[in-house]
Amino acid sequence: MNPTDLQAAELAQDHVNGERLLEAISSLASFGGRDDGGVSRQTLTEVDLASRRYLIDQARSMGCEVGIDECANLFFRRPGLDNDLPPVLTGSHADTQPVGGTLDGAYGVIAGLEVIAALNDAGIQTLRPIEVVAWTNEEGSRFGPGTMGSSAFVEPARLAEYRGSRDGDGISFGEALDSALAAVSDVPRLAMARPMASYVELHIEQGPILEAENVPLGVVDGIQSVRWYRVECQGTMAHAGTTPMDRRNDAMATAHRVAQRLYEFAAAEAATQVRLTLGRWLVEPNSVNTIPGRVEFTIDVRCVDEAVLDRFEAMLNETINTQVASPATVTATCFFRRASTKFPEHMQRLVEKACTRAATLAGRKLPITLTSGAFHDAMYLVDHCPTSMIFVPSIDGVSHNASEATAPDDLVLGAQALAYTVAALASS
Amino acid sequence: MNPTDLQAAELAQDHVNGERLLEAISSLASFGGRDDGGVSRQTLTEVDLASRRYLIDQARSMGCEVGIDECANLFFRRPGLDNDLPPVLTGSHADTQPVGGTLDGAYGVIAGLEVIAALNDAGIQTLRPIEVVAWTNEEGSRFGPGTMGSSAFVEPARLAEYRGSRDGDGISFGEALDSALAAVSDVPRLAMARPMASYVELHIEQGPILEAENVPLGVVDGIQSVRWYRVECQGTMAHAGTTPMDRRNDAMATAHRVAQRLYEFAAAEAATQVRLTLGRWLVEPNSVNTIPGRVEFTIDVRCVDEAVLDRFEAMLNETINTQVASPATVTATCFFRRASTKFPEHMQRLVEKACTRAATLAGRKLPITLTSGAFHDAMYLVDHCPTSMIFVPSIDGVSHNASEATAPDDLVLGAQALAYTVAALASS
């Protein structure tokens, strides 16, 4: 970083206005705001469309150009000195779970706009343009799958399939998208997959690590690898009273023995930080005095190290083919997998520098590096341009819940770290 | 047994008419008969009332007096030489599960009537009267709980509570009972809890033991003790991706560790023939990528030896109070328990003699003694008079199912053993 870049970055960071940031978070939260403090703003619903109009008006009032692409991803652009250069992109998503909080996604979008406001206040003109994005349908709760906007942006061919996805009322994503685009006919259309210089996403951690370490800022080095499996155990339904233990084919007892092996694997591999969840269970006939004839359960297994998941899969396949699984017939099917995401080293170092300065000035503990357990839009952007993420703590590690919260001071520090990072990237 | 009793018992056994028995089973099965070979004849439904009228007409055509009590238990009486003596009672129930077979209950009632027919054919007059009973609502599938008729017969105070039980359509057992009684206004009313000399119930095993031993007849020494528990594990719902293993309060992982202890107990106590079923599971929120916040499961544990269940309960309570259960909060509640039933030794010996003669004459293996895993009306009658049960094999151990079946030869042997037993009891 040359002296000018450094100066711009520090100036931007120092001009972040905490009060304005927190007010803007509250204002966006009023779209779909709930009495319990949560937010219900699923993608492309009426309240989501209203919040998009609000964001467009806010951005324009700050001097931004506004554009939208075919997947209704919204871009707010602050011009640079050389507008032929690919822009630095920041932001996140503004849609929520059916019952979500005020921060998941929204925080990254609002903080991006605060960075632009800080640059305006500081009177800084960056070399590159800066764009703030609000990705469409990150949550995937109304239309599956999630991260539609970011994944379609980097690979537009995905959009055709996404358009066919339907919500619970039978409305297709394509129909909802066309309505959303028609509602902002005043906004120019932008190309998908446009070149970007870099992408930085600020997000709440949605986990307990930063809080437990009492650290306000986290440098995200990547996103864990994940695999989902469906394990089906087929036994024989029989009378709980009349069937001796040695003549049973109890699907639950078998499922239990298989699960035992999986939990043992997770315990033995604890040092790898592997995460194992057996979250969804279907038991038939699910009656107190009938031996279960069929049990199905899901596995969600994640790890930074892909090799651990390979070992897990080998162990799972070996388990269901041994006598642990008998006498039931056991099958395991992988129905979702995504390899781990690694953010570039130079991006992590820049984020670390930004976080270190913000934390130091605030008299707080230095940032730590951690890996995201959840998916984010950054997971797809990393295929498109150098990408990084910054995390702030989640109180009690809670998210996807009305009680989702982060200490206001931490929210401000996160926006400061983002301002430094974006300004530095836009200066070279 | 004096020579006369022995002669009457052998004569009765030898006069059982297998063809008539099997035809009568088929005739009763036509009430609620299904295309798949099963029977749908839940208690006090239209088809059940029609079948009761059929049984009344059959019994009367055989010279029986018919009576009914306040719980609509039907009694078919063959007078004895001394009608002031308490009668020998046999029978079972004629109601079925929503989808049941042709034998569960019905076999015992029909075989009882065949015993009367055999005595008639043999021209035997017994000292005591003999009554065949069809108990009301043994199954408990339309109105809970089961074994209403027999339990109210021995303890009439129970009836007031039973009358309030409602079926899925909101009809009370009391209303259904009043209609059933009105439909047979030509049948005299009998007192509840009348003295009985003894009770013998012939039933299909509903389990795999006799079939596995290739033995046609079983002497039942009692009914297992049973306890039902509800185990509730309260953890903390959290994101499967973002929450490290050492910071989780995974209700399923905890439930699994508790279940592990229970299965280990059952394995260690295998010699006691304890039977353990974890049959019903409720998982919240039951989502692939959310750590379960709450898991509830049921325990059905049975054993001939009450002391084993006492040890089980002590182990369960110890388990939920140790670190096996932590960090979740685990509670266990017993919501049903019934001590084991033991049939009197002299009744078992008589049944054994009857079964041995029938099996020997047919060139089949000698009877074995076994304990009933399922509940039966005999479980309550044992509190009222000397009681015993005879089992015949169930093909594949299947019951409560349209495919429930027993080899015709075995059904005939069962009726022969019953005839011997009843005639002997009625002769002294």
Would the CB atoms of B302 and A244 count as touching at under 8 Å?
A: no
**Residue A374's Cα: distance from chain center in Å?**
5
Query: If pLDDT is split at 50, 70 and 90, which confidence band does A3 have?
Result: low
Instruction: Tell me the mean pLDDT in the region B280-308.
Output: 93
Residue A242 to residue B273, Cβ atoms within 8 A? no
A239 forms beta bridges with A290
Q: Residue A269's closest chain B neighbor by CA?
A: B245
Best residue in B103, B242, B256 for a mutation probing chain A (most A CBs within 10 Å): B242
Which of chain B's residues have a Cβ under 8 Å away from the Cβ of A332? none
Taking a contact as any Cβ pair under 8 Å apart, which residues of chain B between 222 and 241 contact chain A? 224, 226, 228, 238-241
Cβ neighbours of B300 in A, within 8 Å: 240-241, 288-289
Please tell me the predicted confidence (pLDDT) of residue A145.
85
Q: Could you give the residue ranges of the DSSP H alpha helices within A362-407? A: 378-381
Same domain, B149 and B109: yes
Contacts of A241 in chain B (CB under 8 A): 207, 224, 226, 275, 300, 302, 372-375
Please state, rounded to an integer, the average pLDDT across all residues of chain A: 95
State whether B400 and B285 are in the same domain: no
- What is the distance between the alpha carbons of residues A313 and A333, in angstroms, rounded to a whole number? 10
pLDDT of A1 reads 54
Q: Do A300 and B226 touch (CB under 8 A)?
A: no
Q: With beta carbons less than 8 A apart as the criterion, state whether A327 and A254 touch.
A: yes
Q: Judge if B329 and B401 occupy the same domain.
A: no
pLDDT classification of B145: cutoffs 50, 70, 90 = confident
Of A245, A270, A291, the CB nearest to B270: A245
Checking if the pLDDT of B296 tops 90, the result is: yes
**What is the rounded CA–CA span in Å between residue B28 and residue B132?**
15
Residue B1: per-residue pLDDT: 54
Residues of B in contact with A286 (CB under 8 A): 279-281
A263–B241 C-beta distance less than 8 A:
no
pLDDT of res. A326: 85
Distances (CA, A) of B95 to B43, B147, B315: 5, 11, 39
Q: Which of A224, A223, A227 is nearest to A201 (CA)?
A: A223
Q: Is residue A82 within 8 Å of A135, Cβ to Cβ?
A: no
Give contacts of B281 with chain A, Cβ < 8 Å: 252, 281, 283, 286
Taking CA atoms, what residue in B is nearest to A246? B270
Q: A385: domain CATH number?
A: 3.40.630.10
β pairing state of B290-291 and B238-239: antiparallel
Same domain, A116 and A37: yes
Q: Is the pLDDT of residue A144 over 90?
A: no
Nearest CA in chain A to B242: A373
- pLDDT for position A2: 59
The whole-number pLDDT of residue A30 equals 98
Residue A425, SS3 per DSSP: helix
Looking at the complex, report in whole angstroms how far the Cα of residue B23 sits from the nearest Cα belonging to chain A.
28
Model pLDDT for residues B325-361, shown as the tens digit of each residue: 888 899 999 988 989 999 999 999 999 999 999 999 9
Task: Give Cβ neighbours of residue A12 (< 8 Å, ≥ 6 apart).
Answer: A115, A118, A119, A122, A124, A419, A420, A422, A423
CA distance B15 to B422: 13
Task: Retrieve residue A286's tokens.
Answer: 């699910």
- My answer on whether A71 and A130 are in the same domain is yes
Between positions 157 and 216 of B, the ones with CB within 8 A of A are 205-209, 212
- Tell me the mean pLDDT in the region A54-67: 98
- Judged by CB atoms within 8 Å, which residues 286-305 of A form the interface with B? 286-292, 298, 300, 302
* Amino acid occupying residue B428: S
pLDDT at A283: 94
Question: How far apart are the C-alpha atoms of A403 and A395, rounded to whole Å?
Answer: 9
Q: Which residues of A touch B247 (CB under 8 A)?
A: 208, 212, 397
Query: Does the CB of B309 have a partner CB in chain A at under 8 Å?
Result: no
| pLDDT for the residue B172 | 97
| A69 contacts A158 by C-beta, under 8 angstroms | no
| CB-based contact A207 B399, cutoff 8 Å | no
Contact state of A263 with B242 under an 8 Å Cβ cutoff: no
Mean of pLDDT values over B62-75: 98
Residues of B in contact with A397 (CB under 8 A): 238-239, 242-243, 247
Q: If you average pLDDT over residues B390-409, what whole number do you get?
A: 93
Residue B20 touches partner A, C-beta closer than 8 Å: no
Q: Where are the alpha helices (DSSP H) in A166-321?
A: 173-182, 209-213, 251-268, 306-320
Mutation to test the B interface, candidates A223, A242, A379, most B Cβ within 10 Å: A242
pLDDT band (50, 70, 90) for residue A204: very high
Q: For the domain that residue B321 is a member of, what is the CATH number? A: 3.30.70.360
Residues 338-397 of B with CB under 8 A from A: 372-375, 397
Q: Is the pLDDT assigned to residue B129 strictly greater than 90?
A: yes
> Can you give the pLDDT at residue A342?
95
**Residue A6: pLDDT over 90:** no
* CB-CB neighbors (< 8 A) of B399 in chain A: 239, 242
Q: Scanning the structure block, which residue is given the tokens 């440098």?
A: A219
Question: Confidence class of residue A219 from pLDDT cuts 50, 70 and 90?
Answer: very high
Burial class (CB in 10 A: 0-12, 13-18, 19+), B271: exposed
DSSP state of A188: P
> Are A241 and B256 a contacting pair at CB < 8 A?
no
- The answer to whether residue A101 neighbours chain B at the CB level (below 8 Å) is no
Contact A89, A196 (CB under 8 A): yes
B285 CA: distance to closest CA in chain A (Å): 8
Instruction: Label residue B381 by pLDDT band (50, 70, 90).
Output: very high
Mean pLDDT of chain B: 95
The residue type found at A221 is D
CA atoms within 13 A on the CB side of A260: 15
Domain co-membership, B300 together with B191 = no
Give the per-residue SS3 of A287-343: CCCEECCEEEEEEEEEECCHHHHHHHHHHHHHHHCCCCCCCCEEEEEEEEEECCEEC
User: For residue A51, which phi and psi values (nearest 5 degrees)?
Assistant: -70, -30
What would the two tokens of residue B344 be? 């009197």
Residue B36: exposure state from Cβ atoms within 10 A (0-12, 13-18, ≥19)? exposed
Contact B263 A256 (CB under 8 A): yes
Contact yes or no for B176/B143 (Cβ under 8 A):
yes
State whether A241 and B300 contact (CB < 8 Å): yes
A242 contacts on B by Cβ (under 8 Å): 205-208, 372-374, 397, 399
Distances B329 to A69, A288, B155, B254, B325 between C-alpha atoms, Å: 50, 22, 40, 9, 7
User: Alpha-carbon dihedral of residues A188, A192, A198, A204, nearest 10 degrees?
Assistant: 80
DSSP for B125-188, please give it.
--SS-EEEEEES-SS-SSSSSS-HHHHHHHSTTHHHHHHT-B-TTS-BHHHHHHHHHHHTTTSP
Tell me how close the Cα of A185 comes to any Cα of chain B, in angstroms: 38
Cβ contact, residue pair A374, B266, below 8 Å:
no
Cα separations in angstroms, A224 against A95, A154, A342, B151: 23, 20, 9, 61
Q: Which of A338, A365, A390 is at the close of a domain?
A: A338
- pLDDT at site B179: 97
Nearest to A373 among B242, B292, B300 (CB): B242
The number of folded domains in chain A is 2
Place of tokens 């779970």: A97
Considering Cα of B116, then B120, then B123, then B125, what sign does the dihedral take? positive
For residue B270, give how far its alpha carbon lies from the nearest alpha carbon of chain A (Å): 8
What is the per-residue pLDDT for A122?
96
- Of A291, A306, A338, which residue constitutes the final position of a domain? A338
Task: Report yes or no: A135 and A377 within 8 Å, Cβ to Cβ.
Answer: yes
Kindly list the residues from chain A whose CB atom is less than 8 angstroms away from the CB atom of residue B253.
Answer: 263, 278
- Residue at token pair 């009726």: B415
B299 shares its domain with B407:
no
* Backbone conformation region of residue B328, classed left if phi is above 0, alpha if psi is from -120 to 50, else beta: beta
Looking at the fold, whether A387 and A285 belong to one and the same domain comes out as: no
Beta strands in A11-139 (DSSP E): 65-68, 74-78, 88-93, 130-135
Looking at the structure, do residues A174 and A251 belong to the same domain, yes or no? no
Percent of chain A with pLDDT over 90: 88
- Yes or no, beta carbons of B290 and A275 under 8 Å apart: no
d(C-alpha A330, C-alpha A255), whole Å: 8
Confidence of residue B401 (pLDDT cuts 50, 70, 90): confident
Q: Which is nearest to B132 in space by CA: B196, B216, B206?
A: B196
Contact B240 A274 (CB under 8 A): no
Contact B242 A205 (CB under 8 A): yes
Instruction: Tell me which residues of chain B, numbers 105 to 124, contact chain A at a CB-CB cutoff of 8 Å.
Output: none
Q: Is the same domain home to B116 and B240?
A: no
With CA atoms as reference, the chain A residue closest to B335 would be A288
Residues 6+ apart with CB under 8 A from A318: none
Q: How many CB pairs under 8 A join A and B?
A: 184
Q: Please give the pLDDT value at position B2.
A: 59
- Least CA distance to B262: which residue of chain A? A253
The answer to whether residue A158 scores a pLDDT higher than 60 is: yes
Q: Against a cut of 0.95, is the pTM above it?
A: no
For residues B97 and B159, membership in a common domain is answered with yes
Q: How far A117 CA lies from chain B's nearest CA (Å)?
A: 32
Residue type for A196, please? M
Q: Is the ipTM of this complex over 0.90?
A: no
Tell me the DSSP string of B268-293.
HTGGGT-EEE---EEEES--TTEE-S
Token pair for A333: 């099917």
Residue in A closest to B394 by C-alpha: A242
* Residue at which a domain ends, from B290, B321, B338: B338
| Residues of chain A numbered 263-282 and touching chain B (CB < 8 Å) | 263, 266, 270, 273-281
pLDDT of residue B5: 75
Do A193 and A141 fall into the same domain? yes
Compute CA A262 distance to the chain's CA centroid, rounded to the nearest angstrom.
26
Write out the two tokens for A329.
């017939």
pLDDT surpasses 80 at B63: yes
Compute the distance between CA of residue A348 and CA of residue A172 in angstroms, rounded to an integer: 39
Residue A328 has pLDDT above 90, yes or no: no
pLDDT at B233 over 90: yes
Q: Angle at the Cα of B169 (from A292 to B378), degrees rounded to 5?
A: 55
Alpha-carbon span B418 to A193, nearest angstrom? 85
- Secondary structure (3-state) at A145: coil
Residue numbers in A near B246 (CB within 8 A): 270
- Partners of A420 in beta bridges: none
Residues of B in contact with A145 (CB under 8 A): none
- Among the partner-chain residues A243, A289, A300, the one whose CB lies closest to the CB of B397 is A243
Domain that holds residue A260: 228-338
Burial call A363-390: b when 16+ CB within 10 Å, e when fewer? ebeebeebbbbbbbbbbbbbebbbbbbb
Structure tokens at B219: 């002497």
